[in-house]
Amino acid sequence: MRKGTVLFAVVLSICLSAWGCDDDSTSAGIGQADADTDADTDTDGDADSDSDTGAGLVVVSPEDGEHYWRLEPVTFAGHTPGALEVFADDTWLLGGADEAGDFEFTYTFHGVGARSISFVVDGSVELEITVNIDELKARVCLEPGHPSSVGDKLYEAIINRKVAFYMEDMLRDAGYEVLNVVDDIGYEEIFDDDFDNEGAAEQALLQVKSLAARVADCNDWPADYFISIHHNAVDNPNPNYTLTLYGQDPSYVPWFPGAPDWASYTTDRLLDAMEVTHGIATGDRSFLGFSLYVLRNTNMIGILTEGSFYSNPAERERLNDNDYLYGEADAIFQGFIDFVE
Ligand SMILES: [Zn+2]
């Protein structure tokens, strides 16, 4: 859920001194109080949107100190005892109301930082609050690969999930919104000391979710970036390189112009973090001869990482070490940060 959406539902009242509120810091909104109507007014400080007392300025939102994402509309709402003007930094008129009554308008802030907001009723400042406009962080969709059919690549599916869980934490800590499109195994469960990546019981927890459903989740959200997480395997036990693919198609090469850079940053980071022989960053069609479903059908820029080869016995042993997977996740995360920031 996006920051701010929940807080719109929180009712903030501006206490009137006539109500006996204790907090002087929020008691600026005294309008033309009418003693006859006080009996109809909540005395616990809760603003009543149906109140017709006209007793004073009541601001339901925004709340003092509230945070919003840049470009997220801020809704100003409440009740005013007179003509209302709302200013940012004392000079910048955001909106208001021509006469007493309920008011509501929205305003979209473009810059970032703390903004002093003044509510001016009939020419005098009745209330000042601060709203904080935060940098808009992007939405990242994580797609840990497999199983697309039962019995297929179950070991890989588990280590893909572990890497995705670590990345989810890293991205959230950095302020990004994250959607992980699989939820068959919980974080606590998969990182339990007794969890066996190779175990039949553990692998039985995996649930099929089609590529179409995974892609739809990212598109419907909608995400700004897409990362598909995989590990590689071949019949030969020797190969162990890291590979990052981006979408590529004859009609539009590459699929997104920035994707080769992103893939290349990611490969560089993976090469540093993992015990692999070399790294490759390339378009899916050039490398595979076809384009990957998840890169072709997601509507946002994306990459698919094949961290290393679990068909290489020494590498498979390393992949069973969660610290090693954490390092891999950090590499993919750093590659993303290299690209976007
Ligand atoms: Zn895979």
Q: Is the pLDDT of residue 278 over 60?
A: yes
Residue 259 CA to residue 248 CA, distance in Å, equals 9
- Give the pLDDT confidence of 324-338 residue by residue, as tens digits: 999 999 999 999 999
Count of CA atoms in the C-beta half-sphere (13 A) of 118 = 15
- Give the pLDDT confidence of 81-99 residue by residue, as tens digits: 999 999 999 889 999 999 9
Strand order in the sheet with 242-246: 177-180, 139-144, 225-232, 301-309, 242-246, 279-283
Give the range among 51-65, 88-102, 116-130, 189-203 with minimum mean pLDDT: 51-65
Task: State the pairing for strand pair 139-144/177-180.
Answer: parallel
Our CA dihedral for 281, 217, 206, 235, rounded to 10 degrees, sits at -20
| Distance (Å) from CA 138 to ligand 1 centroid | 26
| Distance (Å) from CA 304 to ligand 1 centroid | 9
Kindly indicate the confidence band of residue 55, based on its pLDDT and cuts at 50, 70 and 90. Answer: low
Kindly report the CATH number that applies to the domain delimited by 7-134. 2.60.40.10
Whether the predicted model's global pTM rises above the 0.85 cut: no
- Domain positions in the chain are 7-134, 139-340
Residue 224 CA to residue 249 CA, distance in Å, equals 20
Residue 45 CA to residue 59 CA, distance in Å, equals 12
| Distance (Å) from CA 229 to ligand 1 centroid | 7
| Distance (Å) from CA 306 to ligand 1 centroid | 7
Burial (CB < 10 A; 0-12, 13-18, 19+), residue 138, is: middle
Q: Is the pLDDT of residue 206 over 60?
A: yes
Burial (CB < 10 A; 0-12, 13-18, 19+), residue 93, is: exposed
pLDDT at 151: 67
| Distance (Å) from CA 227 to ligand 1 centroid | 13
| Distance (Å) from CA 86 to ligand 1 centroid | 55
| Distance (Å) from CA 312 to ligand 1 centroid | 15
Q: Is the pLDDT of residue 138 over 70?
A: yes
Closest by CA to 307, choosing from 316, 297, 299, is 316
Mean pLDDT, all residues of the chain: 85
CATH class as words, domain 139-340:
alpha beta
| Distance (Å) from CA 50 to ligand 1 centroid | 57
